[in-house]
Structure 1
């Protein structure tokens, strides 16, 4: 079975459990923190998959590292370890967060700019582009990219809104060299 499908099933099960116990917000916060840990430590999944590390040691490591996490989140992680599914932890967290965002009418987005954006600028971008993607607001991550020269480039899922100077220059270049203009 595809890892993505399995990850979705675990995320859905954790989501239902969180709904039943009114802990969705807490679990989402924990999974966002967990996702950040796994993204910053690329070798963590490889370490957890190591065959010489016993499942009990893996569980102890996670219990010690994630003190304060809800038992629902910890039990899900323990279940993934028992079933040798450590590689889907990150996908499972992503699916859970995506499901929470859908309920809230929020979409995660990345905005590329030459300089760091202020909170006011992020808020304006969110207010402007959220209706265009059918959401109430956008959860923006700002990435500074000097190559765009100016303006912004916004990525929401698989949609890209390119208002950057480099993007405009590329479009002009394509128009000038296209065979239709000769």
Structure 2
């Protein structure tokens, strides 16, 4: 199980080292590539996370796969994760590092769920409203989720703003249940 506290500790350590070396952008790009490689190659992930495979073999493979392509600090960081039997944290650290780097750049990542596909004009209007509300430049990731019925759901970090019909119906149902309303036909 991935722990947020462990992820944050490794992320902050790596971010501090990258900032001190002036390579935050390069580390961010390399970490995103590592995460893509792990997500697209389940066998590679299993190999790195397997408790019986020796750390030396894992580090050799990481060197072969990422040695020339990735920022050297990222390769050293992966070696540390392997030595400490924390390779399972690589993707979580990549995501947290990216959020941290975007935050330092004055950007914020906003996941937008919509019941219907959005036009470019609608997406731009949402982006402008978010920018004025957050006082930061939002990087929006838009997903279509027909189960929402209508409206939007925004996720910024661990905060969620639900302005959907489905969310309103769920809140209404919870209020009815909490106030003692009995479902019809059930006693």
Q: Give the TM interval when normalised to the shorter protein.
A: 0.7 to 0.9
Cα distance in 2, alignment partners of residues 100 and 26 from structure 1: 11
1:123 aligns to what?
Answer: 124
Residue 126 to residue 176, structure 1, CA distance change in 2 (3 Å): same
1:163 partner SS:
strand
1:152 aligns to what?
Answer: 152
Give the 5 Å matches for 1:1-182. 3-41=3-41, 44-66=44-66, 67-132=68-133, 134-171=134-171, 179=179
Tell me if structure 1 keeps the 8 A contact 2:51–2:85.
Answer: no
Tell me if structure 2 keeps the 8 A contact 1:4–1:88.
Answer: no
Structure 1 gap ranges (5+): none
CA-CA distance at 1:42 after TM superposition: 5.5
Cα distance in 1, alignment partners of residues 152 and 96 from structure 2: 27
Residue 119 to residue 82, structure 1, CA distance change in 2 (3 Å): farther
CA-CA distance at 1:74 after TM superposition: 0.8
Aligned pair count reads: 179
TM-score under structure 2 length normalisation = 0.76
Cα distance in 2, alignment partners of residues 13 and 34 from structure 1: 18
Tell me if structure 1 keeps the 8 A contact 2:114–2:148.
Answer: yes
Q: Which stretch shows the higher mean deviation, 61-70 or 115-124?
A: 115-124
Residue 129 to residue 50, structure 1, CA distance change in 2 (3 Å): same
2:185 aligns to what?
Answer: none
Residue 154 to residue 40, structure 1, CA distance change in 2 (3 Å): farther
CA-CA distance at 1:137 after TM superposition: 2.2
Structure 2 gap ranges (5+): 182-187
